[in-house]
Amino acid sequence: MNTIVHFQEALDRAAKALIDESLNRDERIMLLRDMKGRLRLLVNADPGWEKPRIDRICATLGSLGGFGEVPEQAVLYAKDFFDLTRIFHDVVLMQDPAWAAPVRIVDRQIIGQDWLNPLDTSDGPPRLVFFGIKGGVGRSTAMAILAHTLAREGKRVLLVDLDLESPGLSGLMLPHENMADFGIVDYLIEDAVGQGEDVIRRMVTASPMSIQTQGEIRVVTAMGSGERDYISKLSRAYADVPGPDGPISFASRMRRLLDQLAAQEQPHVILIDSRAGLHDLAAICTVGLAGNVLLFGSDSPQSWQGYRLLFQHWQRHPEILKSIRDRLKMVQALFPETDQAARFTSFLQHSYDVFVNTLYESTPPEQEDPDAFNFAKSDEAAPHYPLRINWDNRFQEFSPLLLASGAMTEDQIQATFGAFLKGAKGLVGLTGELA
């Protein structure tokens, strides 16, 4: 009878075997987890290297049921690969609270790898991503209000709709007759056949929201004005394309597009509307493209469970975690009109608990480290301490035309969005009007 070992338990056992043999950090050896979750050893050495220790690890892998291999097939050596260097290029150092030390691993996934993309370090204007585990929390409205506020202060703002599977920014920010000829999905399709340069010049248009402002709001939508075949294009948009040095990933293509748009439009800031949830496109927005990330949420079990799952994933990959954790900021959306003190306290406590248990570093009292990444619960500069957007019925059926026409007064905007606007502008270093 075969032993039943489940997915997470299999990795725990394999990691423990490497740690027990003190081979978990050796650059010549790593775990390979394939797309079904099966585990093997990759050894960049000749057979016979550290044979007793390798044999003991292989014996463990042979005991993992459906997620392991029989011991004699559980290890692959350099001679078994045409280009082992390329495989080792994908290695990450994975850590888990249940393990005594990190382990080197290549984790082959059908989707999800973009949550572990290296941080985009492109020069250019600051970027601010609007992300939420769930939809319906007012992200797009907050984005429109921030863009209008910055334009009134003389800033040139570029809005980018990267919620490709549920595009809504164009409907919110632009009348249909103002839409550009092409959108982001058009660019991805045309760029794959060498025609991206023609499209990029025809995919940005001005929003009527900024007609009476000193600055300007420019909008890049998911689709163009004459769209007739969006779903067929979308089904092809995520594909990698050939490049001179191998396939160019979707994430790399999106980084290149954003750099080209920034060079073309010369904005003071780029605001990016991300897809909600744990989709790969959200991963590209929050990890691959962002400068800072606004994490929208309400004080609900679903929000905290979703953020906990995401943070736990980053927690297991220390190199990625360190690159992103100080770029995050919670936003308490739809802050209620009643019981405000108690409800803010509840949100703050839940937010703090999630960050403390996943992203913040803990040190024993006798080993206090002033450079450790952790914060007091009451620290307003901390990632867990939320920017607040008050609930206001006037903004539930929001139309940007209300801003352009002056129907929304500055007092009304400040009463609902004042704390959020101040914090968001501070994140991107745009705290005052241009000289």
Given 58, 74, 108, the domain boundary residue is 108
pLDDT digits (tens, 9 = 90+) for 315-329: 888 878 888 899 999
pLDDT digits (tens, 9 = 90+) for 183-228: 999 999 999 988 998 899 999 999 988 888 899 999 999 999 888 8
Do residue 81 and residue 129 come from a single domain? no
Rg (CA), the chain: 24
Q: Is residue 57 part of a domain?
A: yes
d(CA 264, CA 173): 20
Length of the chain, in residues: 435
Q: Is residue 435 part of a domain?
A: no
Do residue 412 and residue 266 come from a single domain? yes
Helix axes of 250-265 and 184-191: crossing angle, nearest 10 degrees = 110
Given 108, 142, 166, the domain boundary residue is 108
Which class for 84: exposed (0-12), middle (13-18), buried (19 or more C-beta within 10 A)?
middle
Do residue 189 and residue 337 come from a single domain? yes
- Structural domains in the chain (count): 2
Q: What is the pLDDT of residue 433?
A: 58
Q: What is the pLDDT of residue 287?
A: 77
d(CA 330, CA 219): 25
Q: Is residue 433 part of a domain?
A: no
Do residue 150 and residue 95 come from a single domain? no
**Residues 108-116: what's their mean pLDDT?**
56
pLDDT band at 99 (very low <50, low <70, confident <90, very high): very high
d(CA 427, CA 130): 13
Q: Is residue 1 part of a domain?
A: no
Given 80, 108, 136, the domain boundary residue is 108
Residue 353 vs residues 360, 376, 384, 404: alpha-carbon distances, Å: 10, 11, 9, 41
CATH number at residue 177: 3.40.50.300
Q: Is residue 206 part of a domain?
A: yes
Edge-to-edge strands of the sheet including 29-33?
75-77, 39-43, 29-33, 103-107, 92-94
Report yes or no: 144 and 172 within 8 Å, Cβ to Cβ. yes
Do residue 55 and residue 177 come from a single domain? no
Do residue 187 and residue 334 come from a single domain? yes
Tokens (6 digits) for 183: 């959108």
The alpha carbon torsion through 11, 14, 16, 22 (nearest 10 deg) reads -130
Do residue 411 and residue 284 come from a single domain? yes
Q: Is residue 339 part of a domain?
A: yes
Do residue 92 and residue 232 come from a single domain? no
- Give the DSSP H or E segment for 323: helix 318-324
Residue range of the domain that includes 190: 116-427
Do residue 278 and residue 139 come from a single domain? yes
Give the whole-number percent of the chain exceeding pLDDT 90: 43
pLDDT band at 381 (very low <50, low <70, confident <90, very high): very high
Do residue 65 and residue 40 come from a single domain? yes
Residue 408: pLDDT above 80?
Answer: no
Q: What is the pLDDT of residue 394?
A: 66
Give the whole-number percent of the chain exceeding pLDDT 70: 88
Residue 356: pLDDT above 90?
Answer: yes
Do residue 102 and residue 152 come from a single domain? no
Q: What is the pLDDT of residue 1?
A: 43
**Residues 77-87: what's their mean pLDDT?**
68
pLDDT digits (tens, 9 = 90+) for 233-283: 988 888 888 888 778 888 888 889 999 999 999 999 999 998 888 777 777
pLDDT band at 167 (very low <50, low <70, confident <90, very high): confident
Do residue 372 and residue 259 come from a single domain? yes
Stretch among 45-59, 137-151, 160-174, 408-422 having the lowest mean pLDDT: 160-174
Q: Is residue 94 part of a domain?
A: yes
Q: Is residue 75 part of a domain?
A: yes
